[in-house]
Structure 1
Amino acid sequence: MLIILAAFLFAAVSCGVGLVVLTRILPPDFLAAQMTARSNHSIAARQIGGLIVVPVIITTLLVFSDDLGLDTPFLFCLVTAMIGLWIIGWLDDRYELSETIRLAVQLVAACLVAYGLGGNFRLLPDLLPAPLEPVLVVVVLMVAINVTNFMDGLDLMTVVGTGIPLAGIALVCALGLAGLASGGMGAAAAGALTGFAFHNRPPARVFLGDSGSLPLGLVAGTALLVLARETSIIIALLIPLYYILDAGTTVLLRLFEGENILKAHSKHAYQVAKRAGWSVMKVVLHVAVLNLMLVACVVAALLFNHPMSLAAFLLIGTVATLLLLLDFRGRIRKL
């Protein structure tokens, strides 16, 4: 649909131009990232991407809200929650807030979006009582926020890791396979990340920072929840499968090793590959190709529109993702 393309282009151009202006007017050391032993980059970049990306996403959703069918109460809750995460993310980028404060604000933001989705928003009506559905929504949103934040550790990783799945949501909407609500959120966020990509290409001079990754995770999680209601939960799991399995397997490995999973680390599969000698572009290109394949699986599954096809494409996506994770961790040669 043209409205999806228009929202995408509006966000991409606005973000690209906005970052050009912002990089020129802000001091070179403003929100400069600190270099640590966990850093996966060699150049100190500025964490100012979120200062433009998030306002652009919000503006795009507000401008196109009527055409995208985003009702006012829901949009008010989503935008308010994004602004709250944007502010707390900026403060964390600048002052390194405690984990308790960060999680508390994330919880409030997730609850606000759950409220905005309404009491009739059901994903598992046959399995969960109605009062427990909002709890599921809040948990999913909290996971989406933190996974997006944790995985934002390499040049262009968020662009290909989050941007391609979001663009995939926009694509299935444009093809008439999903609703405008999920597609609109996907187009706005993917467009903003496209504009951001020019400034985040290796060697990156601009990072998203927490001010960008936290709200981005919220809008991505919300788009996936709405997509799940419009299509199926399997579709909503398949399209971001790389992030789900990289983050999930990393948590399990760290738990097995007795580590504090809330403590900052650099043990995601793509980070292991980078430290093992893979170039940044080799890592992100592998993730990009995988995510494009997952989007193709989603489109094919929706076109076939059969439970067996959903299961088959989920299996294909899972095997492909696990093989890439094993390759990133240097395990393929040991098989």
Structure 2
Amino acid sequence: MERFAPLLLIALAAGLAFALCLALRPLMMRYALARPNARSSHRTPTPQGGGIAVLAGAFLALGLALALIPMEASARQGLILVMAAAALLALVGAWDDIRPLSPALRLPLQVLCVGIVVFYAAPEVRLLPETLPLWAERGLALIAGVWFVNLVNFMDGIDWITLAGLVPLSGAIALAAGYGIVDPATGLLAAALLGGLIGFAPFNKPVARIFLGDVGALPLGLLGAYLLYRLAGSGALTAALILPLYHVMDSTITLFRRLGRGEKVWQAHRSHFYQQATDNGFEIVEIVAQVALLNLCLIGLATISIALPGLWAQLACLLAALMLTGLLLRRFSRKQARP
């Protein structure tokens, strides 16, 4: 039974998320419509809040797994804390969806949720114990976690783009657990997240019938960050850097460009490379397909980096990942020639 638990968990989470999307969509249509503006990629009012279904489907399935599958108390407690932090962040996102929060309030709440994960859900994780003292490593992990939460939210600007990033990531880490690279509890969380995203996917395909909303994007960023943190803590730091590289590079380069132009970086915009691609003649399905294909290549490079632990192999894999990602960003930033 335990051998097939991840597959059953994926199926259950997907079914629950799908059913919840069906049930909640009329309510979202009434109370949570995202209306298009000059910075939007959609043209018609679309309900947002699909992240509620993703999280609820994933967490209900994971809760059942926690009740039925034996595991160490520390692993069980870690998962409960991660779910609690993600639920709290979902509340912050829901509040922001309904009545936008000021950055001065939103950021401390995000730091609190990421801090729960870094300091309490994964206290045993060390990434560079021989290089950095514990306080410095924890501080960097906190900053990276808050940035990942925000970048997933920033990148959730066209249909399926978040799924193109998080489905390969969660699937890869669920598979890594099957091979003993990460612990089984992390594998269960990855499987539950994968299932929730799959259940939501039919409603978010272009043209989307439901958006994730901040209620979904923020906690999904936290869950993705936690999965990567666990992967890095298993000794696969290079793999953890490679897997999310498209989302990280697109959002980080865009952030620094906007800072350089003196823009208010917390305000909505259309400067991301994937947004430039829509203006440059790419169809949304083309953009998402190319991001997903890149992420599959990144999974391959991450796998090689785990199989070949030597320094030069690690550097070669990371360099190849950076080059592939850079090529796609460059492609998106240029006008698409049409016959």
TM-score surpassing 0.5? Answer: yes
Tell me if the contact between 1:50 and 1:212 (Cα under 8 Å) persists in the aligned partners. yes
- In 2, Cα distance between equivalents of 1:295 and 1:175: 15
Shift in Å, 1:173:
2.1
Tell me if the contact between 2:281 and 2:336 (Cα under 8 Å) persists in the aligned partners. no
Whether 2:108 is the aligned partner of 1:104: answer yes
Q: After the TM superposition, which of the residue ranges 26-35 and 229-238 deviates more from structure 2? A: 26-35
- In 1, Cα distance between equivalents of 2:218 and 2:149: 5
Give the structure 2 partner of residue 222 of structure 1.
226
Q: After the TM superposition, which of the residue ranges 292-301 and 110-119 deviates more from structure 2? A: 110-119
Secondary structure of the residue aligned to 2:31 is: coil
Choose which of 234, 255, 266 in structure 1 pairs with 2:238.
234
Whether 2:81 is the aligned partner of 1:77: answer yes
Give the structure 2 partner of residue 53 of structure 1.
54
- In 1, Cα distance between equivalents of 2:277 and 2:192: 31
- In 2, Cα distance between equivalents of 1:114 and 1:27: 33
Give the structure 2 partner of residue 319 of structure 1.
323
Tell me if the contact between 1:15 and 1:52 (Cα under 8 Å) persists in the aligned partners. yes
Q: How does 1:63-212 map to 2 (within 5 A)?
A: 63-65=64-66, 66=69, 71-212=75-216
Please list every run of at least 4 consecutive aligned residues from structure 1 whose deviation after the TM superposition is greater than 6 angstroms.
none
Q: After the TM superposition, which of the residue ranges 245-254 and 205-214 deviates more from structure 2? A: 245-254
Q: How does 1:11-30 map to 2 (within 5 A)?
A: 11-24=13-26, 26=27, 28-30=29-31
Give the structure 1 partner of residue 276 of structure 2.
272
- In 2, Cα distance between equivalents of 1:47 and 1:332: 30
TM-score by length of 2: 0.92
- C-alpha deviations, 1:126-184, integer Å up to 9, x for none? 12112233222211210111011000000000110222212121122223433323322
Q: After the TM superposition, which of the residue ranges 137-146 and 4-13 deviates more from structure 2? A: 4-13
- In 1, Cα distance between equivalents of 2:121 and 2:34: 36
Shift in Å, 1:296:
1.6
Shift in Å, 1:55:
1.6
- In 2, Cα distance between equivalents of 1:225 and 1:306: 21
Shift in Å, 1:100:
1.8
- C-alpha deviations, 1:272-318, integer Å up to 9, x for none? 00122211101101101001111122223323343332222211111
Q: After the TM superposition, which of the residue ranges 203-212 and 77-86 deviates more from structure 2? A: 77-86
Give the structure 2 partner of residue 9 of structure 1.
11
Shift in Å, 1:68:
6.5
CA distance 1:140–1:33, change in 2 (3 Å): same
Count of aligned positions: 332
Cα RMSD of the aligned pairs, angstroms, is 2.0
Shift in Å, 1:332:
9.8
Structure 2 unaligned spans of 5+: none
Give the structure 2 partner of residue 37 of structure 1.
38
- In 2, Cα distance between equivalents of 1:312 and 1:107: 34
Choose which of 304, 311, 318 in structure 2 pairs with 1:300.
304
- C-alpha deviations, 1:15-64, integer Å up to 9, x for none? 1122122224x263320002111101122211120121112222233222
TM-score by length of 1: 0.93
Tell me if the contact between 1:107 and 1:142 (Cα under 8 Å) persists in the aligned partners. yes
Secondary structure of the residue aligned to 1:28 is: helix
CA distance 1:269–1:96, change in 2 (3 Å): same
Q: After the TM superposition, which of the residue ranges 116-125 and 41-50 deviates more from structure 2? A: 116-125
Tell me if the contact between 2:28 and 2:48 (Cα under 8 Å) persists in the aligned partners. no
Tell me if the contact between 1:167 and 1:187 (Cα under 8 Å) persists in the aligned partners. yes
Tell me if the contact between 2:242 and 2:298 (Cα under 8 Å) persists in the aligned partners. yes
Tell me if the contact between 2:238 and 2:314 (Cα under 8 Å) persists in the aligned partners. yes
Tell me if the contact between 1:272 and 1:328 (Cα under 8 Å) persists in the aligned partners. yes
Q: What letter corresponds to residue 168 of structure 2 in structure 1? A: I
